[in-house]
Amino acid sequence: MLKKIASNTLFRLLLGVIAGLVLGNYLNESSIQVVLSLKYFTGQLIFFLVPLIVIGFIVSSITKLNEGSAKIVGFSLLIAYLSSIGAGLFSMSAGYQIIPNLSVPTSVDNLREVPKLLFQLDIPPVFSVMTALVISLMLGMGILITKAKELEKMFDQFKDIVILLVNKVLIPILPFFIAANFAILSYEGSIEKQLPVFLKVILIVIVGHFIWMTLMYTIAGFYHKTNPLKLLKYYPSVYLTAVGTMSSAASLGVAVKAVNDSKVVKPSISNFTIPFFSNTHLCGSVLTEVFFVMTVSQVLYGHIPDLGTMVTFIVLLGVFAVGAPGVPGGTVVASLGLISNVLGFDEAGVALILTIFALQDSFGTACNITTDGALTMIVDRYADDIKE
């Protein structure tokens, strides 16, 4: 039991936060240089992996779009993307209204000065995250159109390698990266006033999940011309499974059974859409990440990103979410490059995002997979319409 808890990613990240907060109070000018160097090295590894993660997951996801009916697949992908960016825009609108009224501390007086690095090892990425995105889209579409099966197989194998790197390199070093960042914040003396606001933000985001789920099931009910409660009443077990496991994959079997038991949707549709949406529809995660980046920006940099920057971030985040890795915090991991390049976050900002995202990740996952049922109803009606 203890071994299982110790191996849990959320537990390790929380341990990293606590260790960093405690350690920071006992560091002197010499020891903080070691922590700074650790943060720099782990940060370099993480950002080196980001373009590889983008290519590994997005190319492989695009090449799978030839499975099943082309129209149904295309429509499913479109509504998954629209739901995700819609959730992001909803979250952004709420953020502009709510965050300025949260009494977020944007500056702290009498901070201790952080010294220079003890040593610095640069590990630059092979290419930028935007280059990786464009390469992924072009390669994925090229493989799909030309039916280049050998290349498809190669990128499937590359995806397996990327998953290995995420699980064996990225996830294990995240607690150290986060611990180092929080130790530095604690050493400076700012984190004690900043951390409580994130607990409020997590509760706000969870409420946002339920609002978005309600909206999507309402739309699905009108379009399908069926009371959505006939399907939704089978979803509590799915939601609780997702909360308990923090995994769409672990909840997949329960979700398929729930939809089929409801008899609202044809099994020929649900047996395709539920697995498909579990990998491409991440509305809860996008909603969460958008609100969190706005909060972190206010906390660390004293302002919320402007409207144009946020809209650009959300539109691109919807694309990245389609290829997000199936690990806790997968959406935010896949979009680290966007957070740093589009929003201009430094390593401290990235560390905060990774941490607070992990704290609510189970609820974001539950929102994702529960809302998949609404999208499945929409696809079911669309499939009937294109037959007529």
Q: Give the pLDDT of residue 46.
A: 79
Mean pLDDT of the chain: 81
Structural domain includes residue 363? yes
Q: Looking at the predicted structure, is the pLDDT value of residue 111 above 70? A: no
Token look-up 């050493």 returns 187
Amino acid at 28: N
Contacts of 92 (CB under 8 A, 6+ apart): 290, 291, 294, 310, 311, 314
Amino acid at 108: V
Within 13 Å of residue 288, how many CA atoms lie on the same side as its CB? 32
Q: Give the pLDDT of residue 65.
A: 59
Tens digits of per-residue pLDDT, 14-61? 787 788 888 888 888 888 888 888 888 888 887 788 788 778 877 876
Phi and psi at 329, nearest 5°, equal 75, 20
Q: Give the pLDDT of residue 365.
A: 84
Q: How far apart are CA 61 and CA 53, in angstroms?
A: 12
Contact, 287 vs 94, CB < 8 A?
A: no
Structural domain includes residue 138? yes
Q: Looking at the predicted structure, is the pLDDT value of residue 92 above 80? A: yes
Structural domain includes residue 3? no
Structural domain includes residue 94? yes
Q: Report residue 291's pLDDT band, with 50, 70 and 90 as the boundaries.
A: very high
Q: How far apart are CA 345 and CA 388, in angstroms?
A: 50
Q: How far apart are CA 155 and CA 63, in angstroms?
A: 9
Q: Give the pLDDT of residue 130.
A: 66
Q: Give the pLDDT of residue 51.
A: 81
Q: Residue 49 is encoded by which pair of tokens?
A: 């992996």
Q: Give the domain range for residue 188.
A: 10-386
Q: Looking at the predicted structure, is the pLDDT value of residue 221 above 50? A: yes
Q: Give the pLDDT of residue 95.
A: 92
HEC letters along the chain:
CHHHHHCCHHHHHHHHHHHHHHHHCCCCHHHHHHHHHHHHHHHHHHHHHHHHHHHHHHHHHHHHHHCCCHHHHHHHHHHHHHHHHHHHHHHHHHHHHHHHHCCCCCCCCCCCCCCCCCCCCCCCCCCCHHHHHHHHHHHHHHHHHHCCHHHHHHHHHHHHHHHHHHHHHHHHHHHHHHHHHHHHHHHHCCHHHHHHHHHHHHHHHHHHHHHHHHHHHHHHHHHHCCCCHHHHCCCHHHHHHHHHHCCHHHHHHHHHHHHHHHCCCCHHHHHHHHHHHHHHCCHHHHHHHHHHHHHHHHHHHCCCCCHHHHHHHHHHHHHHHHCCCCCCCHHHHHCHHHHHHCCCCCHHHHHHHHHHHHHHHHHHHHHHHHHHHHHHHHHHHHHHHHHC
Its pTM stands at 0.71
Share of the chain above pLDDT 70, in %: 84
Q: How far apart are the first and last CA of the chain?
A: 56
Tens digits of per-residue pLDDT, 133-146? 678 878 887 888 88
Structural domain includes residue 4? no
Structural domain includes residue 260? yes
Q: Give the pLDDT of residue 39.
A: 83
Structural domain includes residue 161? yes
Tens digits of per-residue pLDDT, 124-179? 888 876 677 678 878 887 888 888 989 999 998 998 898 888 778 877 887 888 78
Structural domain includes residue 5? no
The residue ranking higher by pLDDT, 195 or 78, is: 78
Q: Looking at the predicted structure, is the pLDDT value of residue 89 above 80? A: yes
CA-based nearest residue to 385, from 81, 84, 69: 69
The residue ranking higher by pLDDT, 3 or 49, is: 49
Q: Give the pLDDT of residue 246.
A: 60
Q: What is the largest CA-CA distance in the chain?
A: 74
CATH code of 264's domain: 1.10.3860
Calculate the CA 68 to chain-centre distance: 27
Tens digits of per-residue pLDDT, 229-246? 999 988 888 888 777 656
Domain count along the chain? 1
